[in-house]
Amino acid sequence: MPEPSQETGRGRAAAPFGLAEVSGPSMVPTLYHGDQLLVQYGARVRPGDVVVLRHPFQQDLLVVKRAVERRDGGWWVLGDNAYAGGDSTDYGAVPDDLVLGRVRFRYRPPKDGRRSPLAVLRWALSAARPVLSDRSASRRLRAR
């Protein structure tokens, strides 16, 4: 399940923005293992947003999921990869105080071995992108 590295989770209170690194496949195809994220801590969360939160049962573990809808008790969050698990289908709604921030930007580091000019160009055109809310995905995921 994607999670920001623990080192980047420190210092949130001092700055409204922070960096996180994804590990795991639960947000594929939106985010991949190794992606670097710019997180806006304390940002208003809306359905469809990709968020960073504390795991409800292991609060020292940070995870990245898509906020699907508000329910009694907090946010219902799901991974974009339905086969990876580790979301609200396992632990229920996430209380508001465990939702730390909203992902604003994604940087995908280059893979080793990409040396052809076409591969470098393809990477350069897709390496850095904003992470936008996906309202259609939130409606689609809500049905799961």
Cis check for the bond before 29: say yes or no (omega within 30 of 0).
yes
Answer with the residue of higher pLDDT: 122 or 7. Answer: 122
> In this structure, are residues 96 and 76 in contact, taking their beta carbons and an 8 Å threshold?
no
Does pLDDT of 79 surpass 80?
Answer: yes
Provide the pLDDT for residue 85.
85
List of domains in the chain: 17-130 (2.10.109.10)
The predicted pLDDT at position 49 comes to 96
Residue 144 vs residue 131, higher pLDDT: 131
Which of the pair, 75 or 15, is modelled with greater confidence?
75
How far apart (Å, rounded) are the C-alpha atoms in residues 21 and 42?
18
Helix, strand, or coil (residue 100): strand
In percent, how much of the chain has pLDDT > 90? Answer: 62
Structural contact between residues 78 and 141, judged by C-beta atoms closer than 8 angstroms: yes
| pTM for this model (two decimals) | 0.79
**Residue 130 φ then ψ, to 5°:** -70, 150
Whether the pLDDT of residue 95 is over 90: the answer is: yes
